[in-house]
Amino acid sequence: PRKKGGGGGLLKELPVSMRRLDLLKELRLSCNNFRAVPEAIFPKTPDFGMTNLRVLALDHNPLQSVSDDVAICGKMERLLLHNTQISKIHSTISHMNYLKELWISDTRIKSLDVSVMYLPHICKVVVDSESQLDNWEVLRRGLSSDKWSFMRPGEEAQVAADNIVRDKRLARARARALSSKF
């Protein structure tokens, strides 16, 4: 993985026309040079947008912020923002009722809105350590310990390997499901 800040990333923006990909379920933009979330994902108008996204990976980008429009993706299950320069996630995250995983390790985030504790499907919040969040004690009382994960330096390679294994399993399962239809 590239260092935080994009370092040689290819993409800085996406064509606005991509907002018409409203059936897209997974968008991985890791290791690029995005400073802001592309408007194609969270447009300024409610007419279009990637409202069916389940996975959005913006990790390893020089990302400065995440718009409160993130709530447009109400079906989001995994939001990967680790290794970025963001300092805040808006409280609109409370509208992301299907969110299961939130990755914010190696960011400038010092506080997480307590609404995260009440998301019905949240099962994983990845941070550097307890000391990353100033409101850790409040959040710890609201989310059981099995929902917190800590990613220390050097562990990311193992996480990436685990994700590859998971993705291969999913691909095989999809292939089996497709072949059983024919």
Q: Is the pLDDT of residue 78 over 50?
A: yes
- Per-residue pLDDT tens digits for 126-182: 998 889 999 999 998 888 888 888 886 556 656 666 677 777 788 888 888 887 776
With bands split at pLDDT 50, 70 and 90, how would you rate the model's confidence at 38? confident
Spatial distance between the Cα atoms of 34 and 173, rounded to a whole number of angstroms:
32
With bands split at pLDDT 50, 70 and 90, how would you rate the model's confidence at 4? very low
| pTM, two decimal places | 0.79
Closest CA to 163 of 66, 57, 76: 57
Stronger pLDDT, 146 or 122, i.e. the higher one = 122
Q: What rounded mean pLDDT belongs to the chain?
A: 84
The DSSP annotation for the chain comes to -PPTT-SS-S-S---GGGGG-TT--EEE--SS--SB--TTTS-SSTTS--TT-SEEE--SS---B--GGGGG-TT--EEE--SS------GGGGG-TT--EEE-TTSS-----GGGGG-TT--EEEES-GGG-TTHHHHHHHS-GGGEEE--TT-HHHHHHHHHHHHHHHHHHHHHHHHHH-
The number of beta carbons lying within 10 Å of the beta carbon of residue 11 is 13
The pLDDT of residue 3 is: 47
